[in-house]
Amino acid sequence: MKSSLNNEKIILKNRPNPEVNESLFELIFEGVRELVSNEILVEVKYISIDPAMRGWISEIGNYSEPVPLNETMRSLGVGKIIQSKNDSFKENEYVVGWLGWQKFSIVNQKQIQIKVDPKSNNLSANLGVLGLNGITAYAGLIYKCKPLAGETVLVTTAAGSVGSAVGQIAKIYGCRTIGVTSSDKKAKICKDEFGYDHVINYNKVNNLSSAIKELVPNGIDCFFDNVGGEQFDAVMENLNTNARILICGTIGMPSFPIPMGPRINRTILIKRAKIEGLLVLDYFDRYNEIYNQLLEWYKNGKINIKEDISTGLKSAPSSLVKILNGLNSGKQLVKL
Ligand X SMILES: NC(=O)c1ccc[n+]([C@@H]2O[C@H](COP(=O)([O-])OP(=O)(O)OC[C@H]3O[C@@H](n4cnc5c(N)ncnc54)[C@H](OP(=O)(O)O)[C@@H]3O)[C@@H](O)[C@H]2O)c1
The residue within the footprint of ligand X, chosen from 123, 297, 328, 334 (CB under 6 A), is 328
- Decide: 264 and 178 in contact? Cβ < 8 Å: no
Q: Specify the stretch interacting with ligand X by CB under 6 A; choose among 2-10, 85-93, 215-223, 273-281.
A: 273-281
42 or 280: CB nearest ligand X: 280
CA atoms within 13 A on the CB side of 89: 31
26 or 229: CB nearest ligand X: 229
Q: Specify the stretch interacting with ligand X by CB under 6 A; choose among 110-118, 167-175, 212-220, 272-280.
A: 272-280
The least CB distance from residue 273 to ligand X, in Å, is: 19
Write down the H helix ranges in the chain.
53-56, 132-138, 161-172, 184-194, 208-215, 229-236, 265-270, 287-299, 316-324
The residue within the footprint of ligand X, chosen from 84, 105, 126, 226 (CB under 6 A), is 226
- The amino acid at 58: S
CB within 8 Å of 119: residues ≥ 6 apart: none
Q: What is the DSSP string of 200-254?
A: EETTT-S-HHHHHHHH-TT-EEEEEESS-HHHHHHHHTTEEEEEEEEE---TTS-
Q: Which helix (H) or strand (E) holds 176?
A: strand 176-181
Q: Specify the stretch interacting with ligand X by CB under 6 A; choose among 76-84, 91-99, 131-139, 260-268.
A: 131-139
The residue within the footprint of ligand X, chosen from 10, 24, 251, 333 (CB under 6 A), is 251
Q: Does 182 bind ligand X (CB under 6 A)?
A: yes
Residues 275-294 that bind ligand X (CB under 6 A): 278-280
The least CB distance from residue 21 to ligand X, in Å, is: 15
CA distance 105 to 117: 19
81 or 316: CB nearest ligand X: 316
The residue within the footprint of ligand X, chosen from 20, 73, 162, 303 (CB under 6 A), is 162
Length reported for the chain:
336
The residue within the footprint of ligand X, chosen from 47, 248, 295, 333 (CB under 6 A), is 248
The residue within the footprint of ligand X, chosen from 168, 177, 181, 310 (CB under 6 A), is 181
Residues 37-96 that bind ligand X (CB under 6 A): 50-52
Q: Does 147 bind ligand X (CB under 6 A)?
A: no
184 or 296: CB nearest ligand X: 184
Pairing of strands 331-335, 40-48: antiparallel
Residue 52, SS3?
Answer: coil
CB within 8 Å of 229: residues ≥ 6 apart: 250, 252, 253, 259, 261
Positions that interact with ligand X (CB under 6 A):
50-52, 132-133, 136, 157, 159-163, 181-182, 186, 226-227, 248-249, 251-252, 278-280, 323-326, 328
